[in-house]
Every structure is written in C-alpha cells, then in structure tokens.
Structure 1
Amino acid sequence: MIVDLNLKDKHAIVIGGGTEGVRKVNALLGQGCRITVISNRFNKYLRDQEKAGKIETVKATLKDASILDGYDSPFLVLASTDDRELNRKLCQKGREKGAFVYSVDDPPYSDFSYASVINIEGVMQVAISTSGKSPIMARQVRIRAERILRRVIKKSDIENARLQEFARNAAKPKLKTVEQRKEFLYSILYDRRIQNLIKEDKMEGAKSATLELLQEWVKKSK
C-alpha cells in the first residue's frame, strides 16, 4: 500500500550524510517539514542546504543510538549509515520515541519502503513501488513511465488540480455536506467558461468564475 504522508510541520531526522542520506534529504525537501541531518561529516550540498535554511545539521560520531536521546517525538527517523546493525539500533530507538522508521536497504526492518516517484510541478505525484523487493526495477520502470506521463498530463491538468484545491477550501464553510462539495468540484471540470479560462492561462479569472459558480451552488442548497 502506497501512502502519501502529510509531513507539514513534522520533524524528520536523517542519520548519515552519505549518498543515501542525501537522497533521503532530497525526498524530504519541499514537504514543509523540519529536517535534521546527523552525521560525522557533511558534503558541500548539505552545507548549502543548511545555509539556505532548509535543513539543520548536527555533527556527531555515529557509534550508537544514543545520538537520538536529545530528540523528543520525531515523526520520521531515517537511518542511512553504511552500518546495518547501527541502522537497526537507530530504528529501534526511533520506534521507542513513536517515530516511523526506515533503515536503508533493509526492508524487513523498516516501517515503509521508498517508492520511485514521478513529480510533476510539485502538484501531481505518481509512485512506482516494488514494496522494497527491487528499488532498481522501480526506478527503471519509473524512467520509462515518466516519458509517457509527461506527455499525457497537460498543463491544464496541473492548473485544474490547483484550482480544485482553491475551490475545495472556498466550499468547505459554505456547502454543508461532503456530497454537495464533491458535486460542486466535479461541476468545475465541466464548466466551459472556467475550462476556457484555464486553457487561456487566465487563472485569476478562473478563480473568480469558480467563486461565482460556488454562489450558485450555495443558493441551490438553501
């Protein structure tokens, strides 16, 4: 089962600043979470991320799980060192603190596996997973699938997704039931005026037209 976690304002700890650690940091960037990287050394990329205020780094000797003692209730603990036994100890400590844990290249000991993700403008994500059986094959299939999906998913699809978020937030306080809100959101997709504005890249106009449509739905619901 693939789950898209909401990491906003959560705390994620990555242990290890090598290649795998950098990959885990990259996967977390843009998720709106606090990222702490614990390692005995940091490459230029991680230092640059720290200078940009995107991560915090803690220099420590990676010898045992006590490096996590100073952290209360992390949401994620990603053990990315090259020592499997240490990674497992870190995961055990993370579980004791109530975190979801991941041990690199050790699916049986992890709470989840990493899917190979196609990310289109930060709006649509398509994940391909082998449930940890073969990350290499997941990546190979993702590369082939991405070429196709980037042709299939158009700019109007991305803008419609953004408009749907705007419309859903506007509708929540005005339309009482989930079913009403669902029908309203579907109606946007079939509203010729709104869809033409999206195709013409007039998103402010599309938002205004969406609010007008919402008012019509509010009147009908009374």
Structure 2
Amino acid sequence: MRMPFFIELSNKTILIIGGGREGAKRAEKYSKTGGRVIVYSRSFDEKIVELGRNGFIELVEGDVDEVDKLEEFIKSSDIVMVTLDTEEYNDLISRIARKHKSLLNLANNAEGTDVVVPIDSSVGPFRIAVTTEGRSSMVAREALQRIVNYLSGEQELVRLAEMIHEVKRIVRRSISDPETRMKIYYQVYHNDDLRNALRSGSVHDAERILRNILRKYGLEIKGIRENE
C-alpha cells in the first residue's frame, strides 16, 4: 500500500533512465531540489543537454543493455526513475533497484512502481500534490487546479496557517510543557473572533486578539501592531 510523503531531496541522488521528453521534464523539476540528478541514456533531449551544460545535472551516456555499468549508477542512487518509452527493460531495472534498495518510479507502469510522482502546486503555506495513480493525469491536473482555486480564495486559512506558525515558533522557545503548548495552539485555532477577523480581512483585529491570547501565558509576539 502506497502512502504519501514529502521528502527532502537536497541530500539524495536521483537517477533518471531515459533522456527523452519525459526524462527532460523530470530532470528540470528535480534539478531545483538541490539533490544530485543523473540522466542515463543513449541520447539526450536538448533541454537535458542545456541543464547539463549549466551544471544543474549530470549526463551519463550509456545503454540499458550495459547492465554492469547501469547497476553501478542504480546502486549509488536513492531514487531511480524510468522514463523509457517501452516497458521492455522494466523487469531488469526493477530487479537491480530492489537488490540495492533504491526506490523505483516507473513512468510507463503505474501499477509496478514504488514511488508515484504526483502533480503538485502550492498556495501560500500549502503544498498540494494530487495523483490518480496512473488512471488519468489529465483528471489529476484538473482536480489539482480546483483545489488551488479554492485555497486561493480562502485567505482566512492562508493567514491562519502563517499566524499559527509564528505562534509555534514563540511557544516552543518559551514553553517546554507539550500539553501547555497544545492548549495555546488549540485556543488560537478555535477562537471564533480571531477566525472571523481573518475571514473579513481585519488583520489588525486578528493580531490584537492573538496578542491577548498569548499574554495570558506571559508571551509577547514581535512584529504585531499595538492597538491604536
């Protein structure tokens, strides 16, 4: 059973097998993570060549039939992504990846993959990822856009998330008791007056209410305006 995760990739090695259009899309996307990205292929899309020329990724010219060479790169990779047009080599690559405990993504076979690559976006503090696990990327993209559109109109949630993030930073620095921390978070989250103020766009009123909640616990929050 697959479960969703957001994974820090800056310290990971990602091997992309296949230098075509799909490989180029993956290479461009994951080159922005700060991780090591290697593209292994007989030939390379122009975008991949450009990324390699600019030092964002590494290009390795090789054939999947060169098993020993391929295995060396799989062995040293945390995630292996297969973007070949054919499923011909899936079994071979899967066997090698699992032998070396590398996570495997098969762009050409959603059922046989270990890792699903979702369609993703963000709205303020929210990171959103949607997948139908191979059923339809077009439907997944539409679903994602509907979620993005909804959250874009929900400034109450965006502001509340940012506000509670700041509260947590202050509380963790000053209060060690977990139960007291949770009590404060609960009071902020469930305060109807604060929520109504955020919903109506009255940020000044929301900040005043938040300040009063925190003062009950001897806490002050910097950067919030005092009452005029």
TM-score between the two structures when normalised by the length of structure 2: 0.68
Q: Deviations over 1:38-94 (max 9, x none)?
A: 222223322333344432222223335431314545221111112312133222211
Q: Aligned-pair RMSD on alpha carbons?
A: 3.7
Match of 2:48 among 46, 51, 56: 46
Identity %: 17
Letter in 2 for 1:17: G
Q: Aligned equivalents of 1:56 and 1:215: distance in 2?
A: 56
Letter in 1 for 2:37: I
Match of 2:144 among 142, 145, 163: 142
Q: Aligned equivalents of 1:41 and 1:16: distance in 2?
A: 8
Unaligned runs of 5+ in 2: 221-228
Letter in 2 for 1:83: T
Q: Aligned equivalents of 1:215 and 1:29: distance in 2?
A: 47
Letter in 2 for 1:94: A
Given that 1:38 and 1:59 are in contact with CA atoms closer than 8 Å, whether structure 2 keeps it comes out as yes
Q: Secondary structure at the match of 2:60?
A: strand
| 1:3/1:27 CA distance change after superposition, 3 Å | farther
Letter in 1 for 2:93: L
Deviation at 1:18, TM superposition (A): 1.2
Given that 2:39 and 2:58 are in contact with CA atoms closer than 8 Å, whether structure 1 keeps it comes out as yes
Q: Aligned equivalents of 2:59 and 2:133: distance in 1?
A: 30
Q: Aligned equivalents of 1:31 and 1:166: distance in 2?
A: 25
Deviation at 1:37, TM superposition (A): 1.7
Q: Aligned equivalents of 1:10 and 1:214: distance in 2?
A: 43
Structure exhibiting the larger radius of gyration computed from Cα positions: 2
Letter in 2 for 1:129: T
Letter in 2 for 1:180: T
Q: Secondary structure at the match of 1:109?
A: coil
Asked if residue 79 in structure 1 is aligned to residue 107 in structure 2, the reply is: no
Deviation at 1:103, TM superposition (A): 1.0
Q: Secondary structure at the match of 1:92?
A: helix
Q: Which residue of 2 aligns with 1:3?
A: 4
Which stretch has the larger CA shift, 104-113 or 47-56? 47-56
Q: Deviations over 1:74-122 (max 9, x none)?
A: 221111112312133222211211111111121221113232223336x
Letter in 1 for 2:60: V
Q: Aligned equivalents of 1:159 and 1:39: distance in 2?
A: 46
| 1:2/1:31 CA distance change after superposition, 3 Å | farther
Unaligned runs of 5+ in 1: none
